[in-house]
A and B are shown apart, each in its own frame.
Chain A
Amino acid sequence: MLNRILSCALAAGLVVGLLATALQLVLVSPLIMKAETYETAAPVTPHGHDHGAGAETHDHGDGWAPRDGAERAAYTALATVAATIGFGLMLVAAATLIAPQGLTVRSGVAFGVAGFAATGLATSLGLAPELPGAAAADLLGRQIWWVTTAAATAAGIALIAYGRPALKALGVALVVAPQVVGAPEAAAPASAAPAELAAAFAAHALVVQALTWVMLGAACGYAWERLGRVSAPGRTAEAGAPLTI
């Protein structure tokens, strides 16, 4: 079972990760580069760039960083493929536990949409995808809110979809609670890049995330079905009955 989950997520994550990289390089990376030109034009302090009151200090440090161009794109590809495989592993693992009919292309897309809702939509309500140089609160606080929100929303969606009636209410509470608490906010809204660029970036990043999640879900479902046919020809998926939540 573990082999099937790993093979499925690796294959789907690799293919979709490369497609996501292409989308990112065309739709998102140019906006990041453009923002960096505003960022470097801003007044610079000895360690990092100071974007004025309320803006965070954006410091890449003196250590290694990929050179702009092919090297930077290659590392973006590596990171994107790795993240897509990681999300794929979590998606297939969750589906293995709770999908009644096992993973199919159709249910895979549904899991992909749920993944996007948890890691893309819910987190964006508090922390919209941010350009380099955007004003922001303390990094650790935002990271904790992001992870908690994604996890609570994913668990909430699972309970709403598969839980008994009483648990569905808990599911709604889990989805709503992080938004009521709210994400840590910057002391003052000040950003090096123009608002138009930041808005375009948030929209483009969310569209790419949505496409990536839907493709990942579909690819995981397709790979799961194919691997099932290879390992047990003539038999249907081995997922069996869902665990009762």
Chain B
Amino acid sequence: MTTASTFSQTRARSAQARLAAAFAAFTLGALVVFTVGFAGPEMIHNAAHDARHATGFPCH
């Protein structure tokens, strides 16, 4: 195995790891934003009410 192919494999693995980490973090972030901004339960709505209005989320 040449140094070049080892390098390109390592690089591909690193890109894959980066993709997986970014996807996981993005999904987690979207879930948090969804809960604060859009979740239906009345308790969450009332707790986040002013933040929803200030952030421009449709609230009522």
Binding site for B on A (CB under 8 A): 1-2, 5-6, 9, 24, 28-29, 32, 56-61, 63-66, 72, 75-76, 78-80, 82-83, 85-94, 96-97, 119-120, 123-124, 127-132, 136, 139, 142-143, 146-147, 201, 205-206, 208-209, 239-241, 243
Those of B24-60 within 8 Å (CB) of chain A: 24-26, 28-33, 35-38, 42-43, 45-60
Q: Is the interface of B mostly helix, strand, loop or mixed?
A: helix
If the complex has contacts A83-B36, A89-B25, A89-B29, are A24 and B50 also in contact, measured as CB distance less than 8 A?
yes
Q: List 8 A-B contacts (CB under 8 A).
A: A6-B28, A56-B60, A64-B42, A66-B47, A87-B29, A129-B53, A143-B57, A209-B56
CB distance from B35 to the nearest CB of A (A): 7
Query: Using Cβ atoms and an 8 Å threshold, which residues of chain A touch B50?
Result: 24, 28-29, 32, 72, 75-76, 79
Are the C-beta atoms of B46 and A60 separated by less than 8 Å? yes
Are the C-beta atoms of B56 and A6 separated by less than 8 Å? no
If the complex has contacts A61-B42, A86-B36, are A205 and B56 also in contact, measured as CB distance less than 8 A?
yes
Beyond A90-B33, A209-B56, A240-B15: 8 further Cβ-contacts under 8 Å? Answer: A2-B21, A24-B50, A57-B60, A66-B46, A75-B48, A76-B51, A89-B26, A139-B58
Are the C-beta atoms of B29 and A93 separated by less than 8 Å? yes
The interface bits of chain B over 1-22 (1 if a CB of A lies within 8 angstroms of the residue's CB, else 0) are 0000000000100110111111
Query: Using Cβ atoms and an 8 Å threshold, which residues of chain A touch B21?
Result: 1-2, 5, 93, 96
Q: Smallest CB-CB separation from A85: which chain B residue?
A: B32
Query: Using Cβ atoms and an 8 Å threshold, which residues of chain B touch A130?
Result: 53, 58-59
Q: Smallest CB-CB separation from B20: which chain A residue?
A: A2
If the complex has contacts A65-B46, A66-B47, are A86 and B56 also in contact, measured as CB distance less than 8 A?
no
Are the C-beta atoms of B47 and A75 separated by less than 8 Å? yes
If the complex has contacts A83-B33, A136-B58, A208-B54, are A5 and B25 also in contact, measured as CB distance less than 8 A?
yes
Are the C-beta atoms of B22 and A93 separated by less than 8 Å? yes
